[in-house]
Every structure is written in C-alpha cells, then in structure tokens.
Homo-oligomer: A and B are copies of this chain.
C-alpha cells in the first residue's frame, strides 16, 4: 500500500490517543463495509469492485477505446457528478491538466459536456470539434437527468447530421443494465453499451465503465489503475488497525469534526491534482453532508493559492483542518541555473531542482499553518501513475465509508440532490409538477 498518512502535524491539536480511542468504532465500520450490515448496504459494490468486475466488459472497453482512437479526433463525454468527475480527475492526474492541448500521441481530445446547462459552452465545444471526426460516450444511469439529457440530444443530432446511419456506431452508452430511458434508446439504436453497476453510487463509480471508457480513450492505462486499486483493496480491507491509512485518515477527520471543526481543505503542490480535489469534494461532501452534519470540503492549489486563500488559512476564522497530498516523484523537474548577476537573488538555489524547492515550500507551509492553528494531515503517494491513481481512489473511498459511519449517517445516499431538480422541473412546467409549480410561483 503506497498511500501513506502522517499525522505529526495533527497531534499538536489532537493527541494521538483521541484517534486511537476511535479504534472500536472504526473496527465496527470496517466490518460493516465488508459485511454490508449498515445503512446504504445496497450500494457497497465499490468495496470489491477492483477485483470483482466484468472482465469481458473490461475487454470491450479497451476495444471501444481503440476504435475511438482509430476513428475519432474528439470524444465527447456527456455526464454530470460521478459520471464526470472521476474520469476527468484521472485524465488530469495521469495525463495532464492540459490534456487537450499537449501532444496526445494519437489519442483523441476529450470534451466534457452535460455537466451544466450553458448553451454558450455547448456551442463552443461544437466549434472546437469543427469538422473533425468525433464520438460520444453518454453516461447516465437513468438517461433523464436534465443536464446530460439535453447535451446528448444536441450532440446526437450533430452526429446524425454528420454521419447519418453510421452515427449510432459512434455512440457509447454507459447506463443501467436493464432499465431506463438511455438503456431503451441504446437497445433501440444499437449503441454499444456499458454498465453502471446497480450497487455502485455515482461518486464511487470511477473504477466502473463510467470512468474506465473515458480514461482508456484518453490514454490512461486502466489495467494498471485497476491493479493499483486491487492492491489497495487487499491492503486496506485486511488491516484492522490504526496503521491502516484509511483508518488513520478517517479517525483524524472524525476527531476534528467532533471537536468543532467545520471545514476540511484538501490541497496539493502539483496542478495535476486539481480535479482530484473536485472529485474528492463530491466523494466527501455528498457522502457526509447530510442530517445537518459533516466537514465541508474545500480545496486549494498550491503554492498558487497561498497568494489568495493563504492569508485566510493562516490568520482567518479558525474553522478548518488541512489535508495535503504529496506526490513524491513528479514526472519531470527543472534545475535552477546560476545567474551571473543574481538580480533576483535566487543564486542560493542554484543547482537545486524546482521539485526540491516545491517540497520545502510544502514543509514550511505546513509548519506555518500549524503555528496559525490549522491541524494538518499529510498524505502521500509515490507518483502520478495510473497505478497510484487507482490506489488513491480506493483509499479515499474506503476512508469515507469509515468516516461516514462514524458520523452515523448513510454515506451512500444523496437525498438532498433531488431538491433542486424538483424545483427546476416545476419551474420548467414539467408534467406532474403542477402543484409544486403553483407553490413556488407564490414564493417568487
């Protein structure tokens, strides 16, 4: 297991004994995740997903990715929430945040749509595609979620205009096994289909077809990713002790929450982590933010945001803990050369790498924030490989399962997400929402 947790900058605020005192609760939560004995147990498919998945479907995903590479310059991935963030996080982390601009070595560009209702953005993506060849991966369990449904209707029309009868060969539907609007369309039109497992919630679905097809299409080594997740699963599920990194992380954030902290900030010193933080926000915010409970997830890109949010973290309202992910080995670095004039005063760094400076900034910042009253959790992973990404995904998933059970909520539902949808349907005049519409109109 190569994800590690270091609490040395956390203990000055919360003694190790406080975390250790949660061992009994953690053991109970751990067993409940493995045995399915608590709330949300119909959504525990993610626990064994790294080994217990459809191997034939996995091969079909690789074949589909190869076909897309062959026949498309662009893949449009349509999905929202868990049908978007995991794939995007993996592509940015393993390939680059600039994945659509760098030399893609023959892999298609990937544009994400259906994660908003911005018409101008849809038009911009259409113009970015231009007259190039493209395919669509539409990801929706139901097929009726408004954002992806609109984007799919628009992009499918475009595909049909361009390819006529052959358009259906360029649509890949990741959806329910048997039911729903998208499944019906896929069957009727003969789209190649992949499955959103029934027992895996959206925010836990990056290791299913939901994440796998976009990741593979963008050139991420999904075999290595699944191996990383499987190795993490083996290590994490077997270790019922505080040396289990998922236990340590869950314990630390649980203690901080119980003792009054309100916000957890996740940060990293490499830009490629940015969307991993966004994925993590959904994973933690949607799993824990219910029944008026939970640490609110927020994120920072570092050192960038030390020159924006840094002041607040250092000296503002004391409501937060901070969790910093270290990527031990960057994909490359830059040696700082000696300058003849030393006009910028950097010659004391001559011969050092930027990575060395970055790591010292990280260490210095952690100490400064500790001095400022911010408990720090240090996470680390060896590199930004697909294998490490798989490990990290499993680590964060298992830890939120533990942490959610310690919060005494169901970490695997998201009842609050419906509220805005109902109001939106009512305001849009969707049949069946007449009563709510009348009610809302009075409020407006």
Residues of A whose CB lies within 8 Å of any CB of B are 80-82, 84-85, 96, 98, 100-103, 115-124, 127-128, 143-144, 146-147, 149-150, 152-154, 157, 181-182, 184-185, 188, 202-203, 262-263, 269-272, 278, 281-282, 285-286, 288-298, 301-320, 330-334, 336-337, 339, 341, 343-346, 348-349, 352-355, 357-358, 360-361, 363-365, 367-369, 371-372, 414-417, 419-431, 440, 443-444
Name A311's contact: one of B314, B316, B417 (CB within 8 Å): B417
| B290 A316 Cβ-Cβ under 8 A | yes
In the complex, the chain B residue whose C-beta lies closest to that of A83 is B307
Chain B residues lying within 8 Å of A302, measured Cβ to Cβ, are 116
| A320 B332 Cβ-Cβ under 8 A | no
**What's the minimum C-beta distance from A28 to chain B, rounded to whole angstroms?**
23
8 contacts between A and B (CB under 8 A): A98-B124, A119-B330, A120-B330, A122-B334, A181-B345, A290-B311, A292-B316, A369-B420
Q: Within the assembled complex, what's the spacing in Å between the Cα atoms of A286 and B317? A: 12
**What's the minimum C-beta distance from A65 to chain B, rounded to whole angstroms?**
23
New A-B pairs, 11, CB < 8 Å, besides A119-B354, A119-B355, A306-B420: A121-B272, A146-B361, A154-B334, A182-B344, A282-B308, A296-B298, A296-B319, A360-B424, A364-B421, A367-B440, A369-B419
In the complex, the chain B residue whose C-beta lies closest to that of A273 is B118
Chain B residues lying within 8 Å of A103, measured Cβ to Cβ, are 127
In the complex, the chain B residue whose C-beta lies closest to that of A145 is B307
Q: Within the assembled complex, what's the spacing in Å between the Cα atoms of A293 and B185? A: 54
Name A115's contact: one of B84, B307, B367 (CB within 8 Å): B307
* Residue from the set A117, A122, A296 with the largest chain B CB neighbour count within 10 Å: A117
* Residue from the set A120, A123, A291, A416 with the largest chain B CB neighbour count within 10 Å: A120
| A310 B115 Cβ-Cβ under 8 A | no
**A127-B150 CB under 8 A given contacts A312-B296, A364-B424, A368-B423:** no
In the complex, the chain B residue whose C-beta lies closest to that of A140 is B344
**A304-B417 CB under 8 A given contacts A152-B344, A290-B315, A344-B144:** no
**A316-B285 CB under 8 A given contacts A118-B269, A307-B115, A354-B118:** yes
Chain B residues lying within 8 Å of A317, measured Cβ to Cβ, are 262, 289, 292-296
Chain B residues lying within 8 Å of A118, measured Cβ to Cβ, are 269-271, 330, 354, 358
Chain B residues lying within 8 Å of A372, measured Cβ to Cβ, are 416, 419
| B424 A336 Cβ-Cβ under 8 A | no
Chain B residues lying within 8 Å of A288, measured Cβ to Cβ, are 312, 316
| B431 A307 Cβ-Cβ under 8 A | no
Chain B residues lying within 8 Å of A81, measured Cβ to Cβ, are 307-308
Q: Within the assembled complex, what's the spacing in Å between the Cα atoms of A117 and B144? A: 44
**What's the minimum C-beta distance from A411 to chain B, rounded to whole angstroms?**
11
Name A147's contact: one of B98, B286, B303, B369 (CB within 8 Å): B303
